[in-house]
Each structure stands twice: as C-alpha cells, then as structure tokens.
Amino acid sequence: MSPKRLLARAAVAIIVAAALPQTAALAVPEKAQCTKGLGVGLVDTSGSERDPRASVYVVANAKPGSTFTRRFQVCNGTGGPLTVKLYGGDATIAGGAFSVSEGRTRGDVAQWTTVDPGTVTLPDQTRVIATATFTVPAQATAGERYGVLLAELPAQRSSSGLGVASRVGVRVYLNVGEGGAPKSDFAVSSLQAVRRADGTPAVLARVTNTGRRALDLRGTLLLSHGPGGLSAGPFDAQVGTTLKPGDSAPVTVPLDKAIRGGPWRAVIALKSGLLERQATGNLTFPDQAASEAAPVTASPVPLYQDESAVTLFAAVLIGIMALFLLLFALLAFLRRREREDPRSALPATG
C-alpha cells in the first residue's frame, strides 16, 4: 500500500475516533452483583451539598446558565438480558406524595437533562454507569423543580393488549437561583389519635412546609405518662411523605394494637435532611375501629428540652473542657521544667 493511502486511512481513523462520545467507556456493561429486578442509584454526589438526601437523590442548587453532571448506575438483576432506555423525566409533589409524570414529558427537568448513553443492552448481573448532564438555561426563573433520572424497561403486553412500560429512577430536586441553598423549615401544627379499620391505632401529625425547599419527612413518636404511668415506643413514621414549599399534609405513625385509652403524652420528632423539629401533645385513642379523636394543637419542643440536642451540646462542652485541661496541664509541665532547668529557657547558641 502506498504511503499516501496509509496516511489517508490514518487520517480517517483519527477523525472517527474524535467523533466518538468521550463517555463511551462508561457505557460498556460490567459484571456486578445486582439485587433482584432492575436497580438504579447514584454513583457520585456533589460535595457542596450538606443535605444527606444528596447521597440518594440529585439534590442540587444551580445558577441560571450553569451546567452540572451526576453519574448513576443501572444494574440488571432480572435473570435475563434487557434493553433499557435512560432519560430525564418530570415529577410533581402534591398531597404529600412525589409522583413521576406519565410518559416522555417536556417539562423543565426533562428538557434540561441529557443522559449518555440513552439506550443500553444489559446482560443479567451486569451494570452500566450513565452520566446525566443538567443544562440550566440562562433565562431560567428562580425556584425548585422536580424530576427523575429514569430507566425504562421494554413495554409488556397487558391483559387488555396494551403495551405497558415500567420505569425506575432517581429523584431530582433542582433549585435554580443565585447564592446557596434556600432555607428549609417546617412546623407540626396538630396531632390526632385515630384507630384504623383493622383496629391499629395511629397518630396523624399535620406538617406544613414553611421553607423554600421540598421536604422528605421521616421520624419517630414516643408515648409516655399513659394510663398507669405506661410508656411506649419509639414508633417509626411511615416513609414517603414529601412536601413542597407551602404544602401541608399529615404524617402517619402506626402504633401497637395494645395502645388504648389515655391520655398519653405524645412527642414526635421529624427530620428532613439535617433539619429536625419536635412537637408534643396529649392524646386519647378511640376504642372503636375506623374512628378518630379530635385533633389537638401540637406544642413545639424547645431546644433545651430536646434530649438529643442536650446530649450533643453536653458532649461538645465536655470536649472543650477536656481540651482546656490538656492545655493547662501542658503549660504547667513546661513551667515546671523551666524552673528545674533554667538553661531550657535560654536560646541555643553557636
């Protein structure tokens, strides 16, 4: 082959290589231990986000005209090969629930998100790492948007003959605006004792999002000063209550069926990220199934009555005192050494 032809082929190869996506190496499936089904999860997060939710969801603050990325993995544990579509979708928050919008939507998050690769074929027990790029337009208005990084399975025929596609994904909480993260806050306004149709007692805590960021609420409830001085708990709140700014919804805490009568002193502690609030109220539980007592006003628990906060403060105070004692002992040792050997205080010569 002539040198000219060799040079021409080399030039073509260079052009083709340059045209390949730079993330192509990340799109190659690799062996993995996948749990049953199709799994999706973040691979890396932003170190600038103090919110613990950022290790599970995309929780980001972005200025208009900025771009950022997040990597996420898709792991096939279905028992067979799958071809999966990857893309960004929109979501809404209403009635205390985070809901993914139907189909391929064209809302803000969907339009601003590009996923590479967009389609991948995965053998069983393999994963692929995809990159989601979020490009916020320069003209974007301030405020929080909600969406999902979605992995869509091939449509399956239902009994009606229609194709139904199932999807899993990672939530996106994208706040647009100058400066840092907007303030988060919430208040518990009331507590209500109810008994469900199956006889299970529960407490409904009415929560209002008074901040400017969506909340994912979790927490526990303790009962004390009950009939005969009884105490019970802690009982876990049902997960899944999400509130956008200004929204109000009940957080449900199911209790043990043995809980009856009252009054009981109830203390609920709810968290979203690093934010925590506590409230208390006296409750009496109805005995009849499918019935409820009147809501009672919840009183916020002051910081000095919050046992966890007091414990943390005491630990910090003890640490500071121990440091001062250590420094005092070190200074006393140096002074004693100086008195015993005056030469130790003289500067070294020659």
User: How does pLDDT run across 265-274, given as a tens digit for each residue?
Assistant: 999 999 998 8
The pLDDT mean for the chain works out to: 84
- CA quadruple 76, 25, 18, 10: dihedral sign: negative
Res. 49: pLDDT tops 70: no
Q: Please give the helix or strand (H or E) that residue 148 lies within, else none.
A: strand 143-152
pTM over 0.85: no
Cα–Cα distances in Å, from 51 out to 29, 56, 195? 31, 10, 35
22-31, 177-186, 206-215: least confident range: 22-31
pLDDT tens sequence across 50-83: 788 888 999 999 999 999 999 999 999 999 999 9
Helix/strand/coil for 223: strand
Helix/strand/coil for 314: helix
Domain 186-301 sits in CATH 2.60.40.10: yes
Res. 130: pLDDT tops 80: yes
CATH number for the segment(s) 20-176: 2.60.40.10
pLDDT at 2: 52
- Higher-confidence position of 180 and 146: 146
DSSP for residue 26: G
| Residues 32-58, mean pLDDT to the nearest whole number | 84
What SS3 string covers 317-346? HHHHHHHHHHHHHHHHHHHHHHHHCHHHHC
Calpha distance 122→115 (Å, rounded): 16
Res. 304: pLDDT tops 70: no
Q: What is the CA 160 to chain-centroid distance, rounded?
A: 37
pLDDT at 176: 95
Calpha distance 311→245 (Å, rounded): 31
- CA quadruple 272, 278, 283, 285: dihedral sign: positive
DSSP for residue 138: T
Res. 232: pLDDT tops 80: yes
89-98, 239-248, 303-312: least confident range: 303-312
In the chain, % of residues over pLDDT 70: 80
Calpha distance 265→284 (Å, rounded): 9
Nearest to 149, CA basis, from 37, 41, 64, 26: 41
